[in-house]
Structure 1
Amino acid sequence: MADARQTDRLAALRRWAGARHAADGERLRIELAAGDASFRRYYRLWLGDAPTRIVMDAPPDKEDSRPFVAVAKAWREAGLPVPALHHADFDSGFLELEDLGDTPLHLCLTDDGLANDAGDDDAYREALALLATLQRRAPRTGLPTYAAALLGRELDLYPDWCLARLLGIAPPPCWPSARARLIESALSQPRVAVHRDFDAMNLMRHAGQLWLIDFQDAVDGPLSYDLVSLLRGRYRRFAEADYAAFIEAFRREAIKDGRLADTIGITTFRYHADLMAAQRSLKVLGIFCRLTLRDAKPGYLQRLPLFLAHLRDSLAPWPAFGELSAWLDSDFAPALHRELARRGLQARGVAP
């Protein structure tokens, strides 16, 4: 059924693009450029001597493209590097965008981002400079609030999809208090426009700079969220000293330009960043299991050990999470590795 649906969507896209450009849709060159963890798909459209375009296929019964369009317009008006929007048809679910090429930042990293390579560090510094620009310029007006209810729903993906449905185990007794503490920390931070998936896969290298894509889930939320999305994302597990240096450089810059009060010291900011990273790691563990069990995308399971490592790294410095950390080692990690072995999967992206 999925293949038939995709064939029907592609045929509809051809008719739509043909009508848009006064051409025979069947003769247009249209090729798949990228898939997505959601139901969106991206196609490259050739238009003779004109620059190529990207057409986003976001089935309207599955995806709402209005947030993407609203953020694209607001951020472009703010001078941020986002693709130009040439046309949006909400009824059909097709959007025509500027083509930013085929080089997301993660393809520029060494050894899947795990090697200690100076070029990789430079790439992350470039990404963090873009993040600072995003936080300074992007308006928060009109963005959904990253409130306690949303943070809680995201955290609940972990016990619902990862523990109960994938592994068949219960959360530890400390889960309710740990969950509440993570939400409290997130809500106590200064608020900025949050991309919400500021990872190396969503930063495109094009025309000599980095560009932002996949920003449809942007919210008004915690200052550290996009920071830890990048530093504890799917392509790198930093050594503690390197991670701490990036966090401190971000803190100093944020104080200098007014995003963060100068009363927020190193330990306090590190605490909030680590708890934000833990919240996101738990959410990702749940989402990746949902993608496998609900959406038949099993490749995501191989990334679970990396996000478990991120979760352990984030909680380890803080005694208040000692019970949860111990349970991760005694119960969760063995159950996860048994399940991956049962499925014949090997962990990806975990540094030695």
Structure 2
Amino acid sequence: MSSSRIDALTQWAAEQHGLNQADITLEPAGGDASFRRYFRLTLPGGSTQVVMDAPPAQEDSTPFVAIGRRWYAAGLPVPQVHAANLEDGFLLLDDLGNTPMQEHFTDESTVLGYVESALALIAELQNRASPEPLPGYDAPLLTRELDLFPEWCLGEWLGLPAPECWGALREALAQSALKQPIVSVHRDFDAMNLMVDQARLYMIDFQDAVAGPISYDVISLLCGRYWRFTPAQFARLAGIFHDQARRDGRLSAASSQEDFITQCHAMAAQRSLKVLGIFCRLTLRDHKSGYLARLPHFLDHLEDSLAALPEHAHFAQWVRTTLRPAIVQRLADATP
């Protein structure tokens, strides 16, 4: 970040409180996989807010502001947007602290407790926020996301062709998603995007929210980067969500728990394939570090989901015999 941009950001933040630059301090408060950067603003009395720097050439903050204000007005736990300068890409937000949910993942019992609370938050989001203003998570978007896998993971990083069964899997996963009820989808409902503040969970990084499948955020949570649930745990947690969704009408009374869990596994396969592609793209195109080391974890998620989808046994076999050895070897070759 250039010194002129940090000066402009500091000046803007001070002006929002009628102060001079010398009256406030800005300290880095973390970043993410995008071009956004965050700073903690400390005011003269000691209170704090977060300033988001999102360069407009790389990041359009308009959706974040619009979604954030709608969801805040709906009573959802998201940071309040106190001020927005969309022309320069500066936002002033609530400070939700430094503790994302995964920092509480110390043992299985604690993890399960937080995850059940997060499942309840997904239900709250789906019940309170209308999906109508959001872009649709339609067939073109679903297939574009799936195509990140053969393009970036297989082609650009591994130099492997997709197997013959790829087309059938691609079509089946997209169709499974499209058959589900449409709700508001955060789209990256991972532990890293759930902040714990005064024992309450808050959602952040919701700028890519869409109107999409009811199971998607469930899968973002259960197949995230910080924990791998056993098949029995996965089924129990997805079942908890299913039963609540039937009680409050988000799923029809005809929706069986077994069918919903199968849909969850198909959604998990879609997201794992997408993530494998995105992590390779972040590395190769955007020169971000640390993402390749996470590939084996999402490969585990992919194999877990495929094990529950016997109709895709040929692809699952290819993953075991071709993809996994290629990833393991490529990572080993890259290790100094």
TM-score, reference length from structure 2: 0.97
Please state whether the residue corresponding to 2:47 is helix, strand or coil.
Answer: strand
1:157 aligns with 148
Q: Which stretch of structure 1 is more off in the superposition, 141-150 or 10-19?
A: 10-19
Alpha-carbon distance between aligned partners in 2 of 1:84 and 1:318, rounded to the nearest angstrom: 41
Is the aligned partner of 1:85 residue 2:76? no
Say how many residue pairs are matched.
336
> 1:120-135 alignment to 2 at 5 Å?
120-135=111-126
Deviation (angstroms), 1:120: 1.4
Is the aligned partner of 1:71 residue 2:62? no
> 1:213-252 alignment to 2 at 5 Å?
213-252=204-243
Is the aligned partner of 1:341 residue 2:304? no
Deviation (angstroms), 1:323: 0.8
Q: 1:178 aligns with which of 162, 169, 182?
A: 169
Show CA shifts across 1:47-86 (max 9, x none).
1115201000000011110100111111111110111111
2:7 aligns with 11
Alignment CA distance shift 1:78-1:273 (3 Å): same
What amino acid does structure 1 have at the position aligned with 2:318? W
Deviation (angstroms), 1:27: 5.7
2:26 aligns with 30
Contact 1:75/1:139 (CA < 8 Å) preserved in 2?
Answer: no
Contact 2:138/2:178 (CA < 8 Å) preserved in 1?
Answer: yes
Contact 1:224/1:276 (CA < 8 Å) preserved in 2?
Answer: yes
% identity of equivalent residues: 51
Alpha-carbon distance between aligned partners in 1 of 2:46 and 2:332, rounded to the nearest angstrom: 50
What amino acid does structure 1 have at the position aligned with 2:230? A
Contact 2:131/2:210 (CA < 8 Å) preserved in 1?
Answer: yes
Contact 1:14/1:26 (CA < 8 Å) preserved in 2?
Answer: no
What amino acid does structure 2 have at the position aligned with 1:34? G
> 1:304-323 alignment to 2 at 5 Å?
304-323=295-314
Is the aligned partner of 1:98 residue 2:89? no
Aligned-residue Cα RMSD (Å) equals 1.3
Is the aligned partner of 1:40 residue 2:31? no
Is the aligned partner of 1:271 residue 2:262? yes
Deviation (angstroms), 1:19: 2.9
Alpha-carbon distance between aligned partners in 2 of 1:184 and 1:52, rounded to the nearest angstrom: 46
Runs of 4+, deviation exceeding 4 Å: none
TM-score, reference length from structure 1: 0.93
Alpha-carbon distance between aligned partners in 1 of 2:130 and 2:46, rounded to the nearest angstrom: 33
Gapped regions of structure 2 (runs ≥ 5): none
